[in-house]
Amino acid sequence: MRPSDNKTKNVKVMTGNEACADAAIVAGMRLFAGYPITPSSEIAEVLSRRLPEIGGVFIQMEDEIASMGAIIGASLAGVKSMTATSGPGFSLMQENIGYAAMAEVPCVIVNVQRGGPSTGLPTLPAQADVMQARWGTHGDHPIIAVCPSTVRETYDWTINAFNLSERYRVPVILLLDEIVGHVNEKITMPVAAEINIMERERTKEPPELYIPYRFTESDIPPMADYGSGYRFNVTGLSHDETGFPTNNPAQIDALYRRLNRKIERYSNEIITFKEEFLEDAEICVVAYGSSARSARRAINEARAMGIKVGLFQTYVLWPFPYDKLNKISQHIKHFIVPEMNLGQIAHEVACATKTTPIKVNRVDGNMITPNEILARIKDVSL
């Protein structure tokens, strides 16, 4: 960087957890409720200082169940809200994540993944919560889960998580891992003109005409804020358009189909990925989160050896990019999936490509190295 550039560029050194906290404030988050847990605690620590300085609210709750309840309540009152946790806390949150999905309450849940199950490996990384992010709460429910791999991507995808949550009235899960959460990296902060902040659609109807879950062409009902003159019922039970419980089969069916359809029909707008060297590739490495860092290094080294290999890095895990991977599979001979679990996303790659992907797995609390991925690339290229 030239010396003159330092006058216009805001360059910082920060961790992923710090970037997440800073970006949440930029996105408009003004209430954080959470309970400290390794390796996510720095998010709460930063926000406990920053939020009061800007008129926001930080609450350390008694547990993670209560934390979810607090951010749901704040969101219903019109305040962008977030919590952060790791594996055991994420498990405790599931009942209220389901409530947020059923009641269509925008909120962001950060899960800085560590090894499990149970208390597992509190200070070491894993990527073993990706299936829990999709199916942790019971029932067919809509969910969006995003997964950055660097500190700058964490900054950007924290903002994107709030935008997606507000746009689609759905809880959004930001899946980091201990490596991304704790690594220090130099990043160039985006300027205001580069940041897009989205707000939820609010009703234009007067309070006496407002129906909170009215079926609309978009499948996403406009919201009203508690405390602004609107009175409406919110429940985790199957409900009709008024928000009150119903046992009417037609109304129940319509509700569940709309809840899931509002994500399915917009999946092409939600799903985001990066493709590298796939134009001539015969081997495709599918990676996400911190494993994508090692995958990129391994692919660069393999390309230098003349091996035709490319990278498909997905930033959105749910909804999963089945259609795109299926299209790629038409000219790919082998898929390799590195992940710090025993093959959770490899299963989805198999479904998308109708192949048997080659797994590169670690569950010992250590990051998958570029050499481990490179070795498998060499094996299948022979």
Assign 35 to helix, strand or coil: coil
Q: What is the pLDDT of residue 382?
A: 83
Do 186 and 307 lie in a common domain? Answer: no
Prediction pTM value:
0.95
Q: What is the pLDDT of residue 7?
A: 53
For the beta carbon of residue 8, count every other beta carbon within 10 angstroms. Answer: 7
Cβ(98)–Cβ(162) under 8 Å? no
Q: Please, what sign has the CA dihedral across residues 102, 107, 113, 114?
A: negative
169: its two tokens: 């009235």
Residue 310 falls within a domain, yes or no?
yes
Q: Which of 194, 220, 241 is the last residue of a domain?
A: 194
Assign 371 to helix, strand or coil: helix
- Consecutive sets of 10 residues in the chain, 382 residues long: mean pLDDT of each? 54 97 98 97 98 98 98 98 98 98 98 96 97 97 98 98 98 98 96 94 97 97 97 97 98 98 97 98 98 98 98 98 97 98 98 98 97 98 88
207: its two tokens: 């309070």
Which of the 8 DSSP states describes residue 7?
Answer: G
In terms of Cβ atoms closer than 10 Å to its own Cβ (0-12, 13-18, 19+), residue 250 is exposed
Q: What is the CATH number of the domain that holds 172?
A: 3.40.50.970
Residue 249 falls within a domain, yes or no?
no
How does pLDDT run across 96-125, given as a tens digit for each residue?
999 999 999 999 999 999 999 999 999 999
What is the helix (H) or strand (E) element at residue 47, kind and residue range? Answer: helix 41-53
Residue 59 falls within a domain, yes or no?
yes
Output phi, psi for 235, to 5 deg: -145, 155
Question: Which structural domain, as residue segments, surrounds residue 328?
Answer: 274-381
Residue 227 falls within a domain, yes or no?
no
Distance, CA of 39 to CA of 26 (rounded, Å) = 22
Residue 216 falls within a domain, yes or no?
no
Q: How many domains, in total, are found in the chain?
A: 2
Distance, CA of 160 to CA of 175 (rounded, Å) = 13
How does pLDDT run across 233-287, given as a tens digit for each residue?
999 999 999 999 999 999 999 999 999 999 999 999 999 999 999 999 999 999 9
